[in-house]
Amino acid sequence: MQAIKGILFDKDGTLLDYDESWLPVNRELARIASEGDPALADHLLLACGMDPVTGHIVPDSLLAAGNTRQIADGLVAAGSRLDVVELTTKLDTLFSHAAEFSVAVTDLAAFFGRLHARGFRLGIASSDNERSIRQTAQRFGFAQFVDYIAGYDSGFGTKPEAGMVLGFCAATGLSPSEVAVVGDNNHDLHMGRNAKAGVTVAVLTGTGSRESLAAASDYCLNDITELESLLPGLQPA
């Protein structure tokens, strides 16, 4: 295997703890889409992959892996009376504000700083909008260590297409075989496989399980901090 020189991270469920960060946001999303109708809100959550009582998220469902436009399409298909374009705009605004309340899985400034010091090129590829990703990087103090940021609206296509990985390669001068893709659901891992990334790494801080992620991942870790013990064998020469 070629030496890994770059790491492309998903955001939600990978850098941020999914349950802590997103369950309250999903409930607000449903309130917006239902225009305050509690019964419809519960129906919309179920249709998009979240149990409104337990908060359990179905792996690889719309709420687990979809981008804003896909979620808006799903909500309208399930019964929201809002226009898809209007709802997409409202959800992007909600998600941007949500960055202020998200919960990181570790000290991201220190974590990214250590990887940067070891010579890795670093990027974020998320199904969220680019503005939210940049707000997250600023809030948690790791923006200066990131070489590349791509959201669903950045022009590189959407997951599980290869475009975000290829954009990272273009920005850093790396080949896909020199890149590790790290994520919490199969959209992330399939994106890596579709781009012929050198390594796909699953983490369990999101909506996936070892069982649901096993087929598409080369490694499955409890969280991103375990990358640091994995990386000596993948480190740049």
Q: Which pLDDT value is given to residue 231?
A: 83
Segment (H or E) for 196? none
Q: Residue 234's pLDDT is what?
A: 66
What is the rounded distance in angstroms from the CA atom of residue 67 to the CA atom of residue 174?
26
Q: Along the chain (237 residues), what's the average pLDDT of each consecutive run of 10 residues?
A: 89 96 96 98 98 95 96 98 98 92 96 96 97 96 98 97 98 97 97 98 96 96 95 64
The CA distance from 187 to 139, in Å, is 26
| Structural domains in the chain, sorted by start | 6-17+104-233 (3.40.50.1000), 19-98 (no CATH)
Say what the pLDDT of residue 237 is. Answer: 46
**Residue 1's pLDDT is what?**
55
Q: What is the DSSP string of 88-125?
A: HHHHHHHHHHHTTT--BSS-HHHHHHHHHHTT-EEEEE
Strand order in the sheet with 148-150: 148-150, 121-125, 6-9, 179-183, 199-203, 219-221
